Amino acid sequence: MIQSKFNKIAISVLLFLLSVNTTTAQTKKDFHDWAATPPMGWNSWDCYGPTVTEAEVKSNADYMSKYLKPYGWDYIVVDIRWYVGNDKAHGYNEENPDYVLDQYGRFMPAINRFPSAEGGKGFKPLADYIHKKGLKFGIHIMRGIPVIAVKQNLPIKGTNLTARDIYSEKDQCLWLHDMYTVVPSKPGAQEYYNSLFELYASWGLDFVKIDDLSSPIYFEEEINMIRKAIDRTGRKIVLSTSPGETPIAHADHVQKSANMWRTVGDFWDSWGQLKEHFDVFERWNKWRAYGAYPDGDMLPMGHIGIRAERGNPRMTAFTKDEQYTLMTLWTIFKSPLMFGGNLPDNDPFTLSLLTNKNVLKVLNESTNNKPLFTDADKAAWIADEPGTGAKYLAVFNTADQKMINEDKAAWNSGLITKATPNQSTAVDLDISGAKKLYLVVNDGGDKTDWDHADWIEPTLYNGKESMKLTSLKWIKATSGWEHPRVNQSISGNALIVNKVKYEDGIGTHSNSIIEFDIPEGYTRFKSLVGLDNACVSQNTGATVKFSVFTKNPSETPPPASMKIAINLKEMGLKGKYSVTDLWSGKLVGTFSGEFAPEINKHGAGLYKIVKISK
């Protein structure tokens, strides 16, 4: 009897300990589990910049719930400055921003844009709406504490401290001045972030994108504070750090602290920027891990630029082939997919790119993803289908026409950067006998990010007579992003070089060629060339070369398509294999030794390779 009673007590104690251990294990579950596959969703930035409204967010959520949710798309993210009632497209309103914040110095949604937030409800009503659709809700915030909270000396919730006790003006964001730095060592710093994420958790937040956090300065201690604050809430809030490129020296820390982190700066519908991702993704490939993903940035597809920071309303400038390349590369690399266009405006082709189950299976389930080769005009990646022995193969035709042969230039500025005196230089060129004029802007060799360039007062001369080039219609004009603009910068704002505003000129973005016919008799060309104000304060880019040509600067274009040979034996594949095109779902054929698909210029193919015999 005594033994029986003892056994019952022992069993009870054992069950209690197991219960405690199980509870502890559950509360300590790793945050990487919250993103077991690359997050997929919609972000308001590419179409609405800092001006999105509640009605527009709900419209995109409705579309996602109806058309995309069955395919794994589930995040709806409100991007930057949802707390400003009077923001604008083509930049930010920093002259008289109408900030909204609570008594603890925490930004709140602007009521005129998000009416359901009235009465201090914050984003909870909108989050509830999105959750009822079976989706998840996210927001963008800036690193730090609001400048206005410091100026008003607002208290930090749960402490006897104020915003002035934890801030520093050091390392303030260069391109948006809403926030001051939070000094991690100051008492109250952690409590501030705790209060922030308590608020977000009470709204039902599932995702947070934090900007000015990882580049050009990687704020490791601040990331640690954010990680603690999120974990403290007990809510599964996926953490995305921005902008890029995240310094690769901090790859180990960001992998262990966040669910996704940017590998590039802002990515727009530019083939030059897309092509750069091949090198970027190869560099970051080894740092991908379960629940932790290098992020190639949003997908600038569909209807973008509606009220964006840059560009006018447009369907993406990417060709259909380039869109296949974008989706295939992001998929084989297993980057998060955050769609940038206004979803309700999707055409059937755009929708087809987002709802291909065979392709999305590669994104979510493939393993051992890696580049097979990356050459000047072609690339290939491979991956495994777990448990079957099948392989996935992505093949890309990246061949480009050499648009600019600098040896042919009649005049060259050399490299112009932020450090160049006046960030500009003057052109004064004899064009006697020339019939053509090509104004060229090339990147400085460090990618094309933020390479906004201006031709100021470009003028033709013939003795005493002169003619503004802006009064002529160009024959052809290209730009690395968007289209060249007359009497405006490429972003649609005033032409400003070295803080001086100009009325006459052409705004463009590298790489760019603008072709003119020269009217008879004009013998001289003059202009001021320089960096546009929009790019000077940015973290990356703003490194360009201006050139003037009197003959076509471009070389012969490549063919419309080419066969790209893949040596199956070098992939370890011996025997006969069936190859299926995952985009079309069709069987391509049976191959052994070599598979050589024909890929359109700037296009891609994605294939599944299955062994059928030895």
Q: How far apart are CA 306 and CA 136, in angstroms?
A: 24
On whether the CB atoms of residues 178 and 147 are closer than 8 A, the answer is yes
Model's pTM, two decimal places?
Answer: 0.87
Mapped onto helix, strand or coil, the DSSP state of residue 536 is helix
pLDDT (tens digit, 9 = 90+) per residue, 152-195? 999 999 999 999 999 999 999 999 999 999 999 999 999 999 99
Has residue 78 been placed in a domain? Answer: yes
Same domain, 508 and 594: no
Structure-token match 């001051």, residue found: 180
Same domain, 395 and 430: no
Token reading at 475: 């024959």
Using CA atoms, how far apart are residues 550 and 9, in angstroms rounded to an integer? 95
Please report whether residue 484 resides in a domain: yes
Query: Do residue 373 and residue 486 come from a single domain?
Result: no
State the pLDDT at residue 16. 43
CATH number, residue 396: 2.60.40.1180
Structure confidence at residue 402 (pLDDT):
81
**DSSP notation for 12-40:** HHHHHHHHHHHHHHHHT--GGGGGSS--E
- Residue 463 identity: G
Strand order in the sheet with 604-613: 367-374, 378-384, 391-397, 604-613, 576-581, 587-591
Query: Which of 220, 248, 265 is at the close of a domain?
Result: 265
Q: Encode 231-259: b = buried (16+ Cβ within 10 Å), e = exposed.
A: eebebbbbbbbbbbbbeeebbebbbebbb
> How many helices (H) and strands (E) are present in the chain, helices listed first?
13, 36
Structural contact between residues 69 and 63, judged by C-beta atoms closer than 8 angstroms: no
Shared domain for 193 and 241, answered yes or no, is yes
How far apart (Å, rounded) are the C-alpha atoms in residues 206 and 219? Answer: 23
**C-beta separation of 107 from 99 below 8 A:** yes
- Considering the domain boundaries, does residue 69 fall inside one? yes
Quick check: is 201 in a domain?
Answer: yes
Contact 266, 234 (CB under 8 A): no
Q: Are 53 and 114 in contact (CB under 8 A)?
A: yes
Closest to 378 measured CA to CA, from 394, 359, 361, 355: 394
Q: What pLDDT was estimated at residue 481?
A: 80
Give me the number of domains the chain comprises: 3
Same domain, 455 and 603: no
- For residue 573, give its domain range: 367-400+558-613
Q: Taking each helix axis from N to C terminus, what angle separates 357-365 and 320-333, rounded to the nearest 10 degrees?
A: 30
In the three-class reduction of DSSP (H, G, I as helix; E, B as strand; rest coil), residue 465 is classed as: strand
Structural domain includes residue 342 = no
CATH label of the domain that carries residue 123: 3.20.20.70
- Read off the pLDDT band of 605 (50, 70, 90): very high
Residue 606: pLDDT band (50, 70, 90) is very high
What pLDDT shows up at residue 595?
97
Pairing of strands 465-468, 476-478: unpaired
Q: Say whether both 232 and 376 belong to one domain.
A: no
**Mean pLDDT value across residues 423-427:** 96
Tokens of 282: 């190869």
Residues 447 and 594 in one domain: no
Residues 90 and 191 in one domain: yes
- Please tell me the distance from the alpha carbon of residue 500 to that of residue 498, in angstroms, as a whole number: 6
The pLDDT, as a whole number, for residue 613 is 77
End-to-end CA distance of the chain: 69
Of 539, 574, 595, which marks where a domain is finished? 539
Decide: 283 and 252 in contact? Cβ < 8 Å: no
E strand or H helix that includes residue 416: strand 411-416
In this predicted structure, the answer to whether residue 8 has a pLDDT above a threshold of 70 is no
Residue 529 sits in the same domain as residue 385: no
Q: Judge if 388 and 467 occupy the same domain.
A: no
Question: pLDDT category, 309, cuts 50, 70, 90?
Answer: confident
Cα 599 to Cα 108, 350, 360, 396, 589: the distances in Å are: 49, 20, 21, 7, 16
For residues 477 and 574, membership in a common domain is answered with: no
pLDDT digits (tens, 9 = 90+) for 25-59: 333 469 999 999 999 999 999 999 999 999 999 99
- In this structure, what are the phi and psi dihedrals at residue 473, rounded to the nearest 5 degrees? -90, 125
Residue 10 has pLDDT above 70, yes or no: no
50 within a domain of the structure (yes/no): yes
Q: Name the pLDDT band for 537 (thresholds 50, 70, 90).
A: confident
Residue 434 lies in a domain: yes
Confidence of residue 463 (pLDDT cuts 50, 70, 90): confident
Q: Tens digits of per-residue pLDDT, 88-109?
A: 988 899 999 999 999 999 999 9
What is the residue-wise DSSP string for 43-91?
ESHHHHGGG--HHHHHHHHHHIIIIIGGGT--EEEE-S-TTBTT--SSS
Map residue 217 onto helix, strand or coil. coil
Token pair in block for residue 490:
């490429």
* pLDDT, tens digit (0-9, with 9 covering 90-100), for 13-31: 444 444 444 333 333 469 9
421 & 503 share domain: yes
Q: What is the pLDDT of residue 9?
A: 42
Q: What is the mean pLDDT of the chain?
A: 93
Residue 308 forms part of a structural domain: no
**For residue 538, is pLDDT > 60?**
yes
Q: Which is it for the CA torsion 79, 82, 87, 92, positive or negative? A: negative
Q: Which of 6-20, 238-252, 272-286 has the lowest mean pLDDT?
A: 6-20
- For residue 108, how far is the Cα from the chain centroid? 25
